[in-house]
């Protein structure tokens, strides 16, 4: 039996070797359809942002220069007013910049937020600080030289990297990319994931349960966890619990997918055939991980008829164990395969335990918990977490109520309230 950390390292090695063997061809897709996909190349700025000196406020762009005998630092403190009045020579608004002759000292243009500042102007005075009569303004509040102008390229310079290879496109990135006039981005192709469950006792929702039967839930769980990622999911359903049926399912899945996930049949019982079937068709890299729940775990490769290989990730049949292994071990690996980034593939935070926690040591344990924000004694924001009652691996109600798992090191049997713990946050959680 290997530790969870060893399993993570071995799984990463397996996935990295598989990625290196693939002839991955990026695809170009529209910006509108890119959220959720992973970039296959860096994105560079196609223009400065702002594209010109623009006004940060509604007001008047005036032409005046600070005294030339002052240092730059001193000049910034000088009022932009060389005289009390300025003559209005036109206006500049978004999309329609001022096109008149260059402004001279004592002249200005009416300007609006986001409009181009004329090259001959050096300061924008906000409209609240101006009295206007006909085509003349009088500045009633001093304004620092150069105020209220957003300089060309001050946010983004032409050619700067604005998004990196392997970065996931999120909705809040779209305004940035769109502001650069980028219509398409190059992304990694969607991985194909085939999955199935084994077990003669498993019935589909809607079927009548016989004695000893249960409704199959792991396929729906796998679908729910993975469907928010850029993956093509292939649900092969429940497979008969025989070596031949499992072998046929593995071969069909391997030929049509990049990753094959099975649920059940990876333990050491007389009717647990999956591990042996995988070994006969490819390679089992590891078996049994010192984690709770989820000890019966195996992963490896499956040979394809084309001569290539598909990755195999085996899950235990128990519903909670299957969920924990999928989210804590395999989901970070799948994210790595999509992005190429080993780091930052999982949402870990540190939190303060609000209640004593006792358990039998021996394996790294992932206890279902509830994470929430709070204020400490100095009114600073902190994360607090508590475990959800019984942690028996058959209890799915606690899983449904949780928004995270609490990691308890293998050697630890007691954690008092106030302890600092590592928490793995469910990616879909709305934590308040």
First-last CA distance in the chain:
38
236, 297: one domain: yes
The pTM score is 0.84
* Last-in-domain residue among 89, 123, 150: 150
Distance of alpha carbon 406 from alpha carbon 390, whole angstroms? 13
Do residue 320 and residue 239 come from a single domain? Answer: yes
Domain endpoint, select from 339, 371, 389 = 339
Per-residue pLDDT of the chain in tens (432 residues, 90 and over written 9): 899 999 999 999 999 999 999 888 899 999 999 999 999 999 999 999 999 999 999 999 998 754 344 344 544 444 444 456 899 999 999 999 999 999 998 899 999 999 999 999 999 999 999 999 999 999 998 889 999 999 999 999 999 999 999 999 999 999 999 999 999 999 999 999 999 999 878 888 888 888 888 888 899 999 999 998 999 999 999 998 899 999 999 999 999 999 999 998 776 654 478 889 999 999 998 778 999 998 888 999 999 999 999 999 999 988 999 999 999 999 999 999 999 876 655 678 999 999 999 999 999 999 999 999 998 888 889 999 999 987 776 678 889 999 999 999 999 999 999 999 999 999 888 776
pLDDT reported for residue 287: 73
- 121 plus 212 within the same structural domain: no
The two structure tokens encoding residue 295? 């000890």
- Distance set, CA 141 to CA 79, 127, 128, 131, 199 (Å): 9, 10, 9, 10, 80
For the domain that residue 138 is a member of, what is the CATH number?
2.170.190.11
258 in helix, strand or coil? Answer: coil
Q: If you count them, how many residues does the chain have? A: 432
Same domain? For 277 and 139 the reply is: no
Cα dihedral 139→142→146→147 (10° resolution): -90
pLDDT of the residue at 343: 60
Which residues are registered as beta bridge partners of 124?
Answer: 61
Does 367 reside within a domain? yes
DSSP tag of 226: H
In angstroms, the CA 317 to CA 321 distance is 7
What's the CA dihedral at 101, 102, 104, 107 to 10 degrees? 70
pLDDT of residue 272: 73
Residues near 236 by Cβ (< 8 Å), separated by ≥ 6? Answer: 194, 195, 196, 249, 252, 253
Whether residue 180 is contained in a domain is answered as no
Q: Are residues 356 and 332 in the same domain?
A: no
Using CA atoms of 153, 155, 161, 167 in order, give the dihedral in degrees to the nearest 10: -160
CATH number at residue 355: 2.40.340.10
Q: Whose structure tokens read 């008092």? A: 416
Q: 330 and 385 share a domain? A: no
Instruction: Look up the CATH number of the domain holding residue 7.
Output: 3.40.980.10
Are 357 and 386 in a shared domain? yes
pLDDT of amino acid 273: 87
> Are the CB atoms for 121 and 145 separated by under 8 Å?
no
Look at residue 161 and tell me if it is in a domain.
Answer: no
Residue 303 lies in a domain: yes
Same domain, 326 and 402: no
| Inter-residue contact 421 to 415 (CB < 8 Å) | yes
Q: How many domains does the chain have?
A: 3
Domain that holds residue 419: 348-425
| Chosen domain end from 301, 321, 339 | 339
């Amino acid at each position: 039996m290997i530790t969870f950390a060893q399993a993570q390292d071995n799984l990463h090695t397996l996935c990295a070797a598989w990625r290196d063997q693939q002839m991955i061809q990026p695809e170009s897709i529209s910006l509108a359809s890119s959220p959720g996909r992973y970039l296959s190349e860096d994105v560079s700025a196609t223009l400065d942002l702002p594209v010109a000196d623009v006004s940060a406020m509604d007001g008047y762009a005036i032409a005046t220069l600070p005294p030339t005998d002052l240092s730059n630092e001193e000049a910034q403190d000088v009022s932009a007013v060389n005289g009390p009045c300025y003559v209005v020579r036109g206006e500049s608004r978004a999309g329609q910049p001022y096109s008149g002759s260059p402004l001279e000292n004592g002249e200005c243009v009416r300007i609006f937020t986001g409009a181009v500042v004329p090259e001959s102007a050096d300061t924008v005075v906000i409209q609240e600080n101006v009295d206007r009569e006909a085509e003349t303004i009088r500045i009633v509040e001093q304004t620092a030289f150069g105020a209220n102008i957003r300089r060309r390229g001050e946010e983004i310079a032409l050619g700067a990297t604005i998004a990196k290879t392997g970065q996931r496109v999120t909705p809040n990135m779209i305004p940035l990319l769109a502001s650069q006039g980028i219509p398409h981005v190059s992304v990694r192709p969607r991985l194909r994931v085939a999955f199935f469950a084994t077990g003669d006792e498993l019935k589909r929702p809607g079927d009548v349960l016989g004695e000893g039967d249960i409704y199959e839930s792991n396929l729906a769980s796998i679908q729910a966890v993975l469907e928010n990622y850029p993956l093509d999911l292939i649900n092969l359903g429940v497979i008969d619990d025989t070596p031949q049926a499992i072998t046929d399912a593995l071969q069909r899945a391997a030929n049509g997918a990049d990753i094959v996930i099975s649920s059940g049949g990876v333990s050491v019982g007389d009717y647990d055939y999956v591990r042996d079937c995988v070994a006969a068709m490819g390679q089992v890299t590891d078996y049994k991980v010192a984690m709770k729940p989820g000890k019966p775990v195996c992963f490896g490769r499956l040979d394809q008829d084309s001569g290539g290989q598909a990755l195999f990730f085996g899950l235990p049949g128990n519903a909670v164990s299957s969920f924990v292994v999928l989210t804590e071990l395999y989901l970070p690996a799948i994210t790595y395969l999509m992005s190429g980034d080993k780091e930052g593939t999982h949402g870990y935070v540190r939190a303060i335990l609000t209640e004593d926690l006792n358990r039998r040591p021996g394996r790294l344990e992932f206890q279902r918990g509830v994470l929430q924000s709070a204020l400490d004694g100095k009114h600073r924001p902190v994360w607090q977490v508590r475990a959800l009652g019984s942690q028996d691996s058959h209890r799915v109600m606690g899983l449904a109520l949780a928004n995270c798992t609490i990691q308890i090191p293998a050697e630890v049997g007691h954690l008092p309230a106030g302890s600092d713990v590592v928490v793995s946050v469910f990616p879909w959680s709305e934590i308040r």
